[in-house]
Structure 1
Amino acid sequence: MDPFGITVFVGFGLLIGVLFGFFGMGGSFLVTPALLVMGYSSQTAVGSGLAFVFGTSFIAALKHRDHGQVDYKLGGIMILGMTAGIEVGKTFVDALSELGFADTVVSAAYVLMLGTVGIFVLRDARTEDIDERHPVARRVRNFDAPPRISLTDGGDVSLWLTMAIALFVGVLSGFLGVGGGFLLMPAMMYGLGVPAAVAVGTDVFQITVSGGFGAFRYAQAGNVALPVVASLLAGSTLGARVGSAATNVVEEGDIKGYFAAMLLGGSVAVAAKEVGSAYGIEALNTVSIVLVFGSALLVAGAVVYTTVSELRRERAIAAAGD
C-alpha cells in the first residue's frame, strides 16, 4: 500500500475510533463496506473488518469499565452466543463465495440491515420518551422461560431468550463481517431494555472476544489485509479513548440520533456502489466513497463538538454555583 493510502486509512481509523468508543461498535460496519467500495473481495473485506474490530475493542473496553458501563454477566452470555453464530455466518459466506454470489449478497444484506436498523433508531430517537423502557423490552422481560439472569438496572430476563438474541446477531456478524455492534447495541437497548451507555460498554466488552474469534477464522484462510488493518489501528488508538469518554457526557437521545445517521450513511454508500457497478456509472462509485468517509467525518465531528459543548456547559454551571 502506498504512503497516501496509509495516510488515508490512518485518518479513517482515527474517525472510526471515535465512533467505536461512542457507539460500542468495532468500526467494521464502516470498514467492511469501505473495502467493498474500494474493490476488495467480500471475504477480505469481512476478514479485515473483524480484525480491526478485535484491535480496537480492548482500549475502549478499559475506558468503559472505568465509567462502570459494562454488564459482565450479560456480556459473557453474548460472547457465547455470538461466537457460535459467527462460525455459522462464515460458513454462509464461504458457500456463497464458491457459487460466485458472495459480493452481491453481502452488499445487499448490508444495505438492508443498515437501512432498516438506522430508520428504526432514528424514529425512536425522535419520538421515544427515553425515561421509559421500550415496549418490546417490556414484553421480552415479561417472557417467562427460566432460568432468568439479573441485569444492571435491577431487572431480569430469560437466559434462553438472551442466548437466542446473541446467536442470531452472531450469525449476521459472521456473514457481514462486523463485530455485531450495529445490531447488538439496539438489540440490548430495545430488546432487553438496557440503558444506552451500558449497552455500548457491554457491547465493547463482548466485541473483544467475538471479534477476535471471527478475525482468527478469516486469517486462517489468508483473508485479512494486514497493511489496511495496521493503518486503521494506528489511527483508532486515540479516537477510541475520546469516543468512550464522550458516552459519559452526551445525552442518550443524541447517542441514538448519531447512531442512526451513521447506519443510514453506510446503507446509502453501499447501495450507490452496487448500482454504479451494475450499470457502469462511475460517478456513483465516487459518491459511495465520499458517503462512507464523509459520514464518518461528520458524525465523529458532531460527537466531539457535542461533548466539548456539554463539558463547557457543566463547567459554567459549576462556576456559577461557586
Structure 2
Amino acid sequence: MKTNRVIRTPGGLSLGLDVRAVTVVVLLLLVALAAGVVLIGTGDFPISAGDVVKTLLGNGNAGQEFIVNELRLPRVLVGLLVGASLGLGGALFQAVTRNPLGSPDVLGLGQGATAGALVMIVLFSGNAAQVTVGALVGGLVTGLAIYLLAWKRGVHGYRLVLVGIGVSAIVTAINGYLLTVSDIVDAARAVVWMTGSLNGRDWDQVWPLLGLCAVLLPLVLANARGLRMMEMGDDVSNALGVRVERVRALLMVAAVLLTATATAAAGPVSFVALTAPQLARRLTRSPGPNLLPSLCMGAALLVTADWASQRAFGADQLPVGVVTGVLGGVYLLWLLVTERRAGRI
C-alpha cells in the first residue's frame, strides 16, 4: 500500500509526505501523553486520569495541585525527555553506523557516563549536581575517544561498532574497579544510580533536558536529508553534494550529547536507545533513519515501562532501568538471532 503523498506549496515547491510515518508519530505521541497522564495518577495517593487533566489545567484542589505539579509531573517529564533523547540518539547512531547494533548501549556511551558518575561518587563523594556533571563529562569523553580510535580516513560503521564494544569492555572493567575500592555507603549509592531510575527527579533535571532537546532537535532535523543520503554510501553521498564527514561528526556529537545528558538525568536506562529506533522502523515500514518516530517511541517506551514497574512492584521497589534492561535484553537476543539468520553477522 502506497502511503506517500505530494503536497504542492504556493511557491511551486513539492513536498513528499509519508502518511503512514506521520500517523505513527501522532499515535505514539498520544500513547506517550496518555501514559504520562496515567503515570501521574499512579502512586500511594491515586488520582484518576480526569482529575489529573483537570489539575494540569489549573482546576484541581490544593492537595492535587501539590501532588501533581510538584511531585509527579517533573518525574514524568524527565521520563518523556529521557526516553525521547535516547530514542533519537539511538536512531542517529544506527543511521550513522548503518548497523542495528550501533546504539549507545553497545558502543559504551552509557558505561562512559557511568564511569564519570562513579568517579564523582567514589573519589569525591560528590552531591547530585556533581554526579550529573560527572556523568555528562564521562559520556562526552567516551564518545570522543570512540570517534578518534575509529577514525581512519573517515569513520566506517562496523569499525565504529567494534571500537565501541572494545571501549565498553574497558570502561566496564574500570567501573568494577571503582566499586571495589569504594566504601560501603558510596558503593550502595553508586549501585542505586547505576540501575537507572526516575525516583526523586524534579524540575532541576527537567530544564537542562528540555533546553538541550530544543536546541538539538532542529539541528538534527536540518541534517536529516544528508543522513538519509549517507545510508546509500559515502561515495554516492559525496557525489550528491553531501559533506559526509561534516554531517557525520555533527550528528554524532548531537547523539552523544543526547545520550550523555539523558544518562546524567536518570542514570543508565538500558536498551531504550537500541529498541526504540527498530520498533519505530517496523511500525512506519519506511527506510531511512525515522528520527521523529524513534523519538516518540523512546518517550512512549520509557513512561510505559515506568508505569508498569510501579503497578507491579510499587514506586520505589523496581527502578525503570531494570524493566527496560530485561525487555531490551530479550529484544537484543532476538535481533542477534535474526541478523545471524540473514547472514549480516
Q: TM-score normalised by the shorter chain: which range applies?
A: 0.3 to 0.5
RCO comparison, higher one (Cα < 8 Å, 6+): 1
- Comparing both structures, which one devotes a greater share of its residues to helix? 1
**Scaled by the length of structure 2, what TM-score is found?**
0.35
**Scaled by the length of structure 1, what TM-score is found?**
0.37
